[in-house]
Amino acid sequence: MEKITDVTVGPCECSKYIKPKRIHYKQNGVEKIWDAMKVHDGVACLLFNTTRRVFIFVRQFRPAIYINSVATEVRDGVETVDTNKYPASLGMTIELCAGIIDRDEPPQNIAKSEISEECGYDVPLEHIRKVTSCRSGVGTAGGTLHIFYAEVTDEMKVGPGGGNPHEGEMIEVVEMSIEEGRKLILDETVNRVHGLLFALLWFFENISYKDS
């Protein structure tokens, strides 16, 4: 998964995922502009396997994280990244199982599909508990992220996970013990996003994991 080569960067003229906009407005009569993106809302789910008392996360290469971690250079008129100098590991993340809401279905149903696709668990809908919703990326993309928590068991494991092959997803399912999850909250050597940090803190505050 970590062999990333031939990285070039170009303009994003027409995307079904993000729509860059320049917003002009007046605030208390003062003219302002802001550059922002219209994005899909999303779901993310903290998964805890009660059979083996492990968290289930996903590890994947995130181009947006990679490109914000490297310097680019123009070669033959093309903006390029030297992948020998900047390894793919710079763009690898540990995340909650997550996905975008790109169809007209309740967020909980989308979470159920993502849990199946990315992690291989068939979780009954009623096991997927809403934690809260929050905003992501206030500066550039202000979408809503719906955060869930679900306890799964080994019996619910019906497939390998790994993401939807038709979408070219390459996702590694990562299991971590409770203590490893606790350490992950402040482990700056790993690329993590705030949803993961929040969900873990929520878990330690709200779930009686000591006797589960």
Ligand X SMILES: Nc1ncnc2c1ncn2[C@@H]1O[C@H](COP(=O)(O)OP(=O)(O)O[C@H]2O[C@H](CO)[C@@H](O)[C@H](O)[C@H]2O)[C@@H](O)[C@H]1O
| Other beta carbons within 10 Å of 94 | 19
Query: What is the maximum span of the chain, computed from C-alpha positions, in angstroms?
Result: 61
Residue 155 beta carbon to ligand X: minimum distance, rounded to whole angstroms = 25
Residue 168 beta carbon to ligand X: minimum distance, rounded to whole angstroms = 5
Residue 20 beta carbon to ligand X: minimum distance, rounded to whole angstroms = 12
Residue 35 beta carbon to ligand X: minimum distance, rounded to whole angstroms = 17
For ligand X, the closer CB: 44 or 178: 44
* Closest residue to bound ligand X by CB: 42
Distances (CA, A) of 187 to 55, 89, 184, 190, 208: 16, 15, 5, 6, 23
The amino acid present at 123, given as its one-letter code, is V
Cα torsion 3, 194, 18, 144 to 10°: value is: 150
For ligand X, the closer CB: 100 or 176: 100
Residue 73 beta carbon to ligand X: minimum distance, rounded to whole angstroms = 23
For ligand X, the closer CB: 49 or 93: 93
Residue with tokens 């992690």: 119
For ligand X, the closer CB: 29 or 165: 165
For ligand X, the closer CB: 42 or 91: 42
- Name the residues that contact ligand X, by CB under 6 A: 17-18, 42, 44, 98-100, 145, 167-169
Task: Report the DSSP beta bridge partners of residue 128.
Answer: 150
DSSP 173: E
